[in-house]
Chain A
Amino acid sequence: MDLIKMMPEFNLFDTKWKIHTANPVQHVHYIFLENNIRKSIVAEETIIYGGVYNSIIFPEVHIGENSVIEDSIIMTGTKIGKNCVIKRCIIGEKNYVGDNVNMGIGRDDANKIKPQIYNSGITVVGNHCIIPDDVMIGKNVAIDSEICPSDFKTSFIPSGESILKKTAKISYG
Chain B
Amino acid sequence: MREKTIIALLLAGGQGSRLGVLTKSVAKPALLYGGKYRIIDFSLSNCINSGIGRIGVLTKYHPLLNAHIGAWNLCNMNRKNESVDILSPNVKKDSNENYKGTANAVYQNINYIDMHSPRYVIILSGDHVYKMDYSLMLDFHIRSKADATISVTNISYNEASRYGIINCCDNGKILEFEEKPANPKSNLASMGIYIFNWDLLKYFLQDDNYNRFSEYDFGRNIIPTMLSNNCKICAYKFNVY
Number of interface residues of A (CB under 8 A): 44
Contact of A145 among B21, B63, B67 (CB under 8 A): B21
Q: Is the CB of A145 within 8 A of B75?
A: no
Q: Shortest distance in angstroms between B129's beta carbon and chain A's nearest beta carbon? A: 7
Q: Shortest distance in angstroms between B8's beta carbon and chain A's nearest beta carbon? A: 14
Whether A5 sits at the interface, judged by CB under 8 Å, is no
Most B CB contacts (10 A, CB to CB) among A14, A17, A76 go to: A17
Q: Is the CB of A56 within 8 A of B20?
A: no
Q: For the complex, give the distance between the alpha carbons of A31 and B42 in Å.
A: 30
Q: Shortest distance in angstroms between B25's beta carbon and chain A's nearest beta carbon? A: 5
Whether A107 sits at the interface, judged by CB under 8 Å, is no
Q: For the complex, give the distance between the alpha carbons of A104 and B34 in Å.
A: 21
Number of interface residues of B (CB under 8 A): 39
Question: Are A92 and B41 CB-contacts (below 8 A) given A23-B75, A56-B34, A171-B62?
Answer: no
Whether B80 sits at the interface, judged by CB under 8 Å, is no
Q: Is the CB of A171 within 8 A of B72?
A: no
- Please give me the residue from chain B that is nearest to A170 by CB atom: B25
- Residues on the B chain within 8 Å of A93, using CB: 26, 32
Segment touching B, from A118-126, A130-138, A149-157: A118-126
Q: Is the CB of B27 within 8 A of A173?
A: yes
Whether B203 sits at the interface, judged by CB under 8 Å, is no
In the complex, number of A-B residue pairs with CB atoms less than 8 Å apart: 113
Contact of B30 among A19, A59, A173 (CB under 8 A): A173
B1-57 residues with Cβ-Cβ distance < 8 A to A are 18-22, 24-27, 30, 32, 34-38, 41-42, 44-45, 48-49
Q: Is the CB of A22 within 8 A of B71?
A: yes
Q: Shortest distance in angstroms between B143's beta carbon and chain A's nearest beta carbon? A: 23
Q: Is the CB of B21 within 8 A of A19?
A: no
Contact of A19 among B24, B32, B41, B62 (CB under 8 A): B41
- Please give me the residue from chain B that is nearest to A16 by CB atom: B49
- Please give me the residue from chain A that is nearest to B133 by CB atom: A17
Q: Is the CB of B72 within 8 A of A143?
A: no
Q: Is the CB of A20 within 8 A of B131?
A: no
Contact of A169 among B25, B37, B45, B74 (CB under 8 A): B25
Q: Is the CB of A90 within 8 A of B36?
A: no
Q: For the complex, give the distance between the alpha carbons of A58 and B36 in Å.
A: 6
Q: Is the CB of A172 within 8 A of B64?
A: yes
Q: Shortest distance in angstroms between B68's beta carbon and chain A's nearest beta carbon? A: 5
Whether B90 sits at the interface, judged by CB under 8 Å, is no
- Residues on the B chain within 8 Å of A22, using CB: 38, 68-69, 71-72, 74-75
Question: Are A124 and B25 CB-contacts (below 8 A) given A19-B37, A21-B38, A75-B32?
Answer: no
Q: Is the CB of A58 within 8 A of B71?
A: no
Q: For the complex, give the distance between the alpha carbons of A75 and B22 in Å.
A: 10
- Residues on the B chain within 8 Å of A43, using CB: 35-36
Q: Is the CB of B26 within 8 A of A59?
A: no
Q: Is the CB of B62 within 8 A of A124?
A: no
Contact of A124 among B20, B34, B67, B76 (CB under 8 A): B20
Interface string of B141-174 (1 = CB under 8 A from A): 0000000000000000000000000000000000
The 9 lowest CB-CB distance pairs between A and B, nearest first, are A173-B64, A22-B71, A126-B21, A41-B35, A173-B62, A22-B72, A145-B25, A20-B76, A173-B63
5 new A-B contacts, CB < 8 A, other than A125-B21, A126-B21, are A20-B41, A42-B35, A56-B35, A127-B24, A173-B68
What are 7 A-B pairs with beta-carbon distances under 8 A?
Answer: A18-B45, A19-B34, A44-B36, A142-B20, A169-B25, A173-B62, A173-B65
Q: Footprint of B on A, CB under 8 Å?
A: 3, 9-10, 12, 14, 17-24, 41-44, 56-59, 75-76, 90, 92-93, 114, 117-118, 124-128, 142-146, 169-173
